[in-house]
Amino acid sequence: MPEVLSALFAMNPMKISQNIAISENGFLFNPATGDSFSTNACGKEIIRLLQEGQSQAQILEALQREFEVDQASLEKDLADFLYMLGNYRLLDANAQ
């Protein structure tokens, strides 16, 4: 695993910001900023796992079980997605 990804997955579990609402269709609304986003089924699943308090490594395992994808691509895509969540201020800053 590349060094950056290793560091990411060794971090404390990331937490999704409080009060973030996500619908069945994968529509996210951040009530603190008024921003809204759409995500696909895979993104919705990652957010659900984050809301359950799962660590990055646990999420990786869960996704590997669910999707047929090689580990390197999955790690990279998950890292990108988590980075994007942070960038859009959807992660709890205190838990990062």
Residue 33 in contact with other proteins, rule: CB under 8 A? yes
Q: Applying CB under 8 A, does 29 fall inside the site for other proteins? A: yes
What b/e sequence results for 24-53 when a residue is b if at least 16 CB atoms lie within 10 Å of its CB, and e otherwise?
Answer: eebebebeeeeeebebeebbbbbbebbeee
19: region left, alpha or beta (phi > 0 left; psi from -120 to 50 alpha): left
Give the count of residues interacting with other proteins (CB under 8 A).
Answer: 7
Closest distance of CB 51 from other proteins, Å: 18
The reply on whether position 38 binds other proteins by CB under 8 A is no
Q: Which residues bind to other proteins, rule: CB under 8 A?
A: 19, 21, 29, 31-34
